[in-house]
Amino acid sequence: MPTAVATRSAESGRPLAPAFDAVDRPDREGILDCVHCGLCLPSCPTYLTTGLEMASPRGRIHLMRAVDEGQAGISADFVKHLDQCLGCLACQTACPSGVPYGYLLEAARTQIERRYERPAGDRRLRRVILSLFPHPERLAWLLVALSWYQRLGLSGVVRNTGLLALLSPRLAQMEALLPEVPSAAARRPLPGVTPAVGQRLGRVGFLTGCVQRFVLPDLNRATARVLAAAGYEVVSPQGQGCCGALHLHSGDLETGRALARRTIQAFERAQVDLVAVNAAGCGAAMKEYGHLLRDDAEWRSRAEAFRARVRDISQILAGVSWRQELKPVPVTVTYHEACHLAHAQRIRKEPRLILQRIPDLQLVELPESDLCCGSAGVYNLLQTEMAGRLLQRKIDRIRETGASVVAIGNVGCLLQIGLGLRQAKLPVRTVHPVELVDWSLHGMPDGEPRA
Ligand code: SF4
Ligand code: SF4
The CATH number covering residue 407 comes to 3.40.50
Higher pLDDT, 154 or 255: 255
Q: Is residue 185 part of a domain?
A: no
Q: From atom 7 of ligand 1, which residue's Cα is the shortest distance away? A: 44
Neighbouring CB atoms inside 10 A of 158's CB total: 17
pLDDT score of 381? 86
pLDDT score of 139? 73
Q: Are the C-beta atoms of 208 and 243 separated by less than 8 Å?
A: no
State residue 357 phi and psi, 5-degree precision. -80, -10
- pLDDT (mean) for 216-242: 93
Q: Is residue 20 part of a domain?
A: no
Whether residue 200 sits in one domain with residue 146: no
Q: Is residue 286 part of a domain?
A: yes
What would the pLDDT profile of 187-205 be if each residue is shown by its tens digit?
778 889 999 999 999 999 9
pLDDT score of 160? 67
What would the pLDDT profile of 322-355 be if each residue is shown by its tens digit?
989 999 999 999 999 999 999 999 999 999 999 9
- pLDDT (mean) for 104-121: 94
Q: Which domain holds residue 302?
A: 193-318
Q: Are the C-beta atoms of 440 and 329 separated by less than 8 Å?
A: yes
Does position 12 have pLDDT exceeding 60, yes or no?
Answer: no
Q: Is residue 209 part of a domain?
A: yes
Helix 384-401 × helix 411-424 angle, to 10°: 70
pLDDT score of 4? 40
| CA gap 223, 313 in Å, rounded | 8
- pLDDT (mean) for 214-243: 92
Whether residue 412 sits in one domain with residue 390: yes
| Closest atom of ligand 1 to CA, residue 372 | 2
Mean pLDDT in the chain?
A: 89
pLDDT score of 251? 93
pLDDT score of 447? 63
Ligand 2 within 6 A of 97 CB? yes
Whether residue 160 sits in one domain with residue 105: no
| CA gap 403, 341 in Å, rounded | 22
Q: How far apart are the first and last CA of the chain?
A: 68
- CATH code (residue 41): 1.10.1060.10
Q: Which of 117, 139, 165 is the last residue of a domain?
A: 117
Q: Is residue 188 part of a domain?
A: no
Whether residue 369 sits in one domain with residue 266: no
- pLDDT (mean) for 296-320: 97
Instruction: Tell me the CA–centroid distance for residue 50 and ligand 2, in Å.
Output: 18
Whether residue 165 sits in one domain with residue 226: no
When divided into structural domains, the chain yields a total of 4
Q: Which of 83, 117, 151 is the last residue of a domain?
A: 117
Cα 260 → chain centroid: 16
pLDDT band at 159 (very low <50, low <70, confident <90, very high): low
- pLDDT (mean) for 125-136: 80
Whether residue 403 sits in one domain with residue 288: no
Q: From atom 5 of ligand 1, which residue's Cα is the shortest distance away? A: 57
Best residue among 86, 95, 382 to mutate for probing ligand 1's pocket (most ligand atoms within 8 Å of CB) is 86
Q: From atom 2 of ligand 1, which residue's Cα is the shortest distance away? A: 88
Does position 3 have pLDDT exceeding 50, yes or no?
Answer: no
pLDDT band at 2 (very low <50, low <70, confident <90, very high): very low
Lowest mean pLDDT among 304-313, 330-339, 439-448: 439-448
Best residue among 89, 109, 343, 390 to mutate for probing ligand 1's pocket (most ligand atoms within 8 Å of CB) is 89
Q: From atom 8 of ligand 1, which residue's Cα is the shortest distance away? A: 44
- pLDDT (mean) for 383-411: 97
Q: Is residue 19 part of a domain?
A: no
Does position 119 have pLDDT exceeding 90, yes or no?
Answer: yes
Ligand 1 within 6 A of 60 CB? yes
pLDDT score of 1? 31
Whether residue 202 sits in one domain with residue 314: yes
| CA gap 331, 449 in Å, rounded | 8
Whether residue 299 sits in one domain with residue 370: no
pLDDT band at 11 (very low <50, low <70, confident <90, very high): low
pLDDT score of 16? 55
Whether residue 346 sits in one domain with residue 309: no
Ligand 2 within 6 A of 90 CB? no
% of the chain exceeding 70 in pLDDT: 87
Ligand 1 within 6 A of 386 CB? no
Q: Is residue 36 part of a domain?
A: yes
Q: Are the C-beta atoms of 84 and 376 separated by less than 8 Å?
A: no
Instruction: Tell me the CA–centroid distance for residue 337 and ligand 1, in Å.
Output: 15
Whether residue 301 sits in one domain with residue 233: yes
Instruction: Tell me the CA–centroid distance for residue 92 and ligand 2, in Å.
Output: 8
Higher pLDDT, 257 or 450: 257
Q: Are the C-beta atoms of 243 and 259 separated by less than 8 Å?
A: yes
Does position 137 have pLDDT exceeding 90, yes or no?
Answer: no
Whether residue 420 sits in one domain with residue 363: yes
Instruction: Tell me the CA–centroid distance for residue 115 and ligand 2, in Å.
Output: 27
Q: Is residue 309 part of a domain?
A: yes
Whether residue 312 sits in one domain with residue 197: yes
